[in-house]
Amino acid sequence: MTRRFVAQVGRNHRIRQSLLLALALSVSLVVGGSMPAFARVVEAPAPAVLRPTLPRPTGDEHIGVVPLHLVDRSRPDPWVSSQPVRELMVSVWYPARRTHGQPVYPWLPPGAWERFGQDNGVPAGSVRVPLTHGRVDAPVDRHRGGRPLVLYSPGLGGNRDSSTVLVEQLVSRGYVVATIDHTYDASEVEFPDGRVEVSVVPPITPEVVAKAVAVRVADTRFVLDSLVALNAGRNPDAEQRPLPAGLGGALDLSRVGMFGHSLGGATAAQAMYEDPRIKAGVNLDGTMTGAVVDAGLDRPFMLVSAQNHGRDTDPSWERFWANLRGWRLNLRLAGSGHNSFTDVQVLIPQLADVLHLPPEVVQGLIGTIDPHRSILIQRAYLTAFFNLHLRHRDGRLLTRPSPRFPEMQFVP
């Protein structure tokens, strides 16, 4: 593992932390009501308060979501020696039969935001937490034969909310998506009892990066095992909270894919290498690491890079690409930055004035591409990939450059 790779991972981690700190300087959440923590709805803001919004997904399906507290009793926590078991929080997003009357799911659980504010001395601010398009515990819209499942892993220091704009799009097009908080790697993880656990990852070294990926792969495989149990009619939630009506048996576990951003993209590739249940994967601008780099894969994989990243600048991508034996595609999104593949793409422009961020700082975070254009393109290609490899529906978008999306470049 090269110094260059470690430097990139460290830089990506620092970008995430610097961004969160910037948000903390002006974000204040007001959480009301007596609803359970994960179902709280933010009160209506005063007229002067800004609430950033996420672009609405374009598919026909309504969106339901349920958080799960999963406990892996087969292993102690790898980051905190005093924890005898590994605990995770996962959100399962799914097509819903109806959503009327169900609580809106916040972009981050309120306790996690509150803890972040306390840790960073957040004053009474002028920005409130975005709301997603998901509705908590909405009844599931069942589909004959079950729906394909996609797993999501965020970047180092990221939370399971990090790419909600992409997750919601897949769900609106008929997928179930499980997003994973990698506890003690993620910035804040809120559990049902109100605990908020924060990152304890030590300074970035090759050994730390290798450990983080190994932990994330173990997390991913455990989550998949838990979803197998859920699909068989068992409730894997540690508190045994009721599951949405119709969720058991709603998955087609012969059609499982995975995508991730940054270190989450490397996690997706390594998880595919270790677990053959994962049939197709996508890496969104993440440097590769692990045995998969030299061993390769015999299943479909897509690499999507930012403007200044790719096989010409990242030796791990070139090695991995050369060892892929199945369907493969390498794309580059012109004008994009590393964080373009997260919700930062659309949230930071809305917050720039409030945060007093100069244009060059915003550009450094998300590139020069128009944010909504970026999201439109990413959604199209990510959906096309999983449609092709999990549903065998070929819309030809992945065969050649499209005049509709000239910003998405095919790298030979």
How high is the pLDDT of residue 12? 52
How far apart (Å, rounded) are the C-alpha atoms in residues 263 and 283? 9
In this structure, what token pair is assigned to residue 193? 């009892």
- Strands (DSSP E) found in 28-183: 62-72, 86-96, 104-106, 131-136, 147-153, 176-181
How high is the pLDDT of residue 356? 77
How far apart (Å, rounded) are the C-alpha atoms in residues 108 and 89? 12
Average pLDDT over residues 234-253: 98
Pick the CATH number of 3-410 from 3.40.630.30, 3.40.1160.10, 3.40.225.10, 3.40.50.1820: 3.40.50.1820
> How many CB atoms within 10 Å of residue 297?
21
Span 318-355, pLDDT tens digits: 999 999 999 999 999 999 999 999 999 999 999 888 77
How high is the pLDDT of residue 29? 27
How high is the pLDDT of residue 188? 92
* DSSP secondary structure letter of residue 341: G
Q: pLDDT: is 61 or 129 the higher one?
A: 61
The distance from CA 211 to its chain's CA centroid, rounded to whole angstroms, is 20
Give the least confident one: 52-66, 113-127, 250-264, 369-383. Answer: 113-127
Taking Cα atoms as reference points, which of 150, 180, 181, 172 lies closest to residue 55?
172
How far apart (Å, rounded) are the C-alpha atoms in residues 224 and 197? 23
How far apart (Å, rounded) are the C-alpha atoms in residues 155 and 265? 8
Taking Cα atoms as reference points, which of 89, 106, 257 lies closest to residue 185?
89
Average pLDDT over residues 163-177: 98
How high is the pLDDT of residue 357? 83
Q: pLDDT: is 40 or 81 the higher one?
A: 81
Region for 361 from its dihedrals, namely left if φ exceeds 0, alpha if ψ lies in -120 to 50, beta otherwise: alpha
Contacts of range 346-350, beta carbons closer than 8 Å, 24 or more positions apart: 346/52, 346/54, 346/55, 346/165, 346/371, 346/372, 346/375, 347/52, 347/54, 347/130, 348/19, 350/50, 350/52, 350/53
How far apart (Å, rounded) are the C-alpha atoms in residues 117 and 181? 19
Task: Give the Cα-Cα-Cα angle 320, 364, 121 (nearest 5 degrees).
Answer: 110
Taking Cα atoms as reference points, which of 216, 220, 248 lies closest to residue 234?
248
- Report strand pairing: 328-333 vs 301-305: parallel
In total, the chain counts a number of residues equal to 412
- Could you identify the residue written with the tokens 């990939």? 385
Average pLDDT over residues 290-301: 98
Task: Give the Cα-Cα-Cα angle 280, 286, 290 (nearest 5 degrees).
Answer: 75
Which stretches within 277-341 are classed as H helix?
292-295, 315-322
Helical pair 3-24 and 344-355, crossing angle rounded to 10 deg: 50
Taking Cα atoms as reference points, which of 313, 286, 288 lies closest to residue 11?
286
How far apart (Å, rounded) are the C-alpha atoms in residues 224 and 149? 10
Work out the pLDDT band at 257, boundaries 50, 70, 90.
very high
- Domain residue ranges in the chain: 3-410
Give the least confident one: 21-25, 89-93, 164-168, 185-189. Answer: 21-25
Q: pLDDT: is 29 or 151 the higher one?
A: 151
Average pLDDT over residues 70-88: 98
pLDDT at 200 over 80: yes
The pTM of the whole model exceeds 0.75: yes
Which stretches within 28-163 are classed as H helix?
110-119
